[in-house]
Amino acid sequence: MPNPQHSILLGAALLSLASPALGGTSENAALTTAVQKSWPEFIEFLRLPNVATQSAPDIRRNAQWAQATLARHGWQAQLLPDGETPMVFAQWKAKSKSARTILFYAHMDGQPVFPKAWKQASPFEPVLRARDAQGVWQDLPLEKLTQTANPDPEWRLFARSAADDKAPILMLIAAMDALVAQGKSPAINIKLILDSHEEGGPPTLADVVEQNRALLQADGIVMLDGPMHESGRPTVVYGHRGGTALALTVYGPREELHSGHFGNYAANPAMTLARLITGMKDAEGRVLIPGFYDGVDINPSLKAVLAQVPDDEAALQRRLGIAASEKVGASYQQSLQFPSLNITSMIAGEPAARRTIIPAKATVTFDIRTVPGTPAERQIALVRKWVEGQGFHLVQGEPSEAERVRYPLLASITGGGGMKALMTPLDAPIGQWLRSGLTRAFGQAPVQIPIMGGGVPSAPLADGLKAPVILLPLVNADDSQHAANENLRIGNYSNGVKSLYALITNP
């Protein structure tokens, strides 16, 4: 049977084969050599466990490895103190004193792993795979990657952080290696910071930026994170959604009750909660809480950019396994311009126990994805106001006896904080610089995405350094990031090196 992802990635394969030389045969040869030489180090990096919430020593080893590797390749590299888990800073200066300075961001840490869900011995033992004629993944010896000058771009390397986010780190090192091999210097001052807590643990990037502001200062910031557009074409992303979370608990009787003795008499808080949350959205997914979408600005210039993103809505729905999309926006890209209200869990009683009880309380947890113009604090306040408008008395913690006998509808809402949304103007100079470099490298303009759904820690960089931030995703859209069997398409690695080479040679 045909591979369902084949059509998605065909554009990437064709792009890799058909894109014109940056400047000639010598550049292409240098890039090919640099990519081939970088595979063993990439594999070595992937073998280092990197879950910050599980082991600070593991993160230290990742930081020490990255610092030593960058230094060995000629970078000025150092560790930035950050408690038990240092970050890494490296730089490479241009010869021109008037050269612009670009700070590249990536992260060393990865999402937690559940080894039993992986189709390999360990998520930290990389496995090379190719699809057979039936579309089934088959293991290949790693030597086929490290000892082959031009490996098949459709091969995949499976390991935690293979795509998110160790690949871009090695891509940048390889791009600089290709430049040095030709006796050239970068056209820009390159700075690089590697975050140790992007995926978990205390978010310390703001503190590290504050303590190293002069060292990190740049004219612009390029975050090497996130997936490319599904077409496989080079992609520029101008912003991302923010995010916050809240828990809404509805209280029923003081303690669990026998459902036979008290059913039809004591209200079940799960039923009450269900009626409450059902009123939050209409049948097509639009949030009905007044003011929830206030601040969204889909102006004509934004609409024009959104219309040019080459999404295949039918293919996307097939891949997701849904028959139709919600109607918050007119398209997938337009839906990302609105804040979302998403249920992440619902808890009442103990499902596994199968006890016939009326639970004492029921809780639903939400994540709210925000966009510029819809700050998290305001969105949570709107939810609170709406719940109160449905007749609920909000309490802090468990209701008191006085509250229980006075109010028939009792609830609490907790949560807040989270990540800020970002939207760099579509006509910002850093975007123009990024687009020109990628267009020169691949012979066509990149896909421009105004805002992506996932979040990245841009606020500490944008606010702390007062510099514009833009995202350059380099890995395949179907990389299973954050999940089991995370993978990197080999062709994306080669094209990523080419993309970064184009930028560091673009004045």
Return the amino acid letter for 94.
A
Rounded to whole angstroms, how far apart are CA atoms 248 and 364?
5
Phi, psi (rounded to 5 degrees) for 449: -115, 115
Tell me: pLDDT of 3 over 60. Answer: no
DSSP bridge partners of 370: 242
Q: In a 10 Å sphere around its CB, with 0-12 CB exposed, 13-18 middle and 19+ buried, how is residue 98 labelled?
A: exposed
Please name the helix (run of DSSP H) or strand (run of DSSP E) that holds residue 370, with its range, or none.
Answer: strand 361-370
Are the beta carbons of 280 and 341 closer than 8 angstroms?
yes
Are the beta carbons of 3 and 472 closer than 8 angstroms?
no
Contacts of 417 (CB under 8 A, 6+ apart): 244, 376
Q: Give pTM, 2 decimals.
A: 0.90
Number of H helices, E strands in the chain: 17, 21
Tens of pLDDT, residue by residue over 180-211, are 999 999 999 999 999 999 998 889 999 999 99
Tens of pLDDT, residue by residue over 316-361, are 999 899 999 999 999 999 999 999 999 999 999 988 778 899 999 9
Distance of CA 453 to the CA centre of its chain: 8
> Looking up tokens 């490298």, which residue turns up?
441
> Lowest-pLDDT range, 19-33, 132-146, 364-378, 463-477?
19-33
Rounded to whole angstroms, how far apart are CA atoms 289 and 345?
20
Rounded to whole angstroms, how far apart are CA atoms 30 and 441?
14
Distance of CA 86 to the CA centre of its chain: 22
**What is the model's pLDDT at position 213?**
98
Rounded to whole angstroms, how far apart are CA atoms 438 and 442?
6
Distance of CA 299 to the CA centre of its chain: 26
Q: What are the structure tokens assigned to 108, written together? A: 């060393």
Query: Smallest Cα–Cα separation from 422: which of 448, 450, 380?
Result: 450
| Domains detected in the chain | 6-240+421-504 (3.40.630.10), 242-296+338-415 (3.30.70.360)
Phi, psi (rounded to 5 degrees) for 69: -65, -45
Are the beta carbons of 414 and 395 closer than 8 angstroms?
no
Tens of pLDDT, residue by residue over 268-281, are 999 999 999 999 99
Per-residue DSSP letters for 28-42? HHHHHHHHHHHHHHH
Residue 11: band (very low, low, confident or very high) from pLDDT cuts 50, 70, 90:
very low
Tens of pLDDT, residue by residue over 120-156, are 999 999 999 999 999 999 999 999 999 988 899 999 9
Strand locations in 142-234 (E) = 156-158, 189-195, 220-223
Mean pLDDT, all residues of the chain: 94
Per-residue DSSP letters for 425-438? -TT-HHHHHHHHHH
Is the bond leading into 109 cis (omega within 30 degrees of zero)?
no
Are the beta carbons of 42 and 475 closer than 8 angstroms?
no
C-alpha dist (Å) from residue 202 to 56, 64, 194, 196, 278: 12, 20, 15, 10, 35
C-alpha dist (Å) from residue 270 to 360, 393, 494: 9, 17, 52
> Looking up tokens 């979370």, which residue turns up?
245
What's the rounded mean pLDDT across residues 46-70?
97
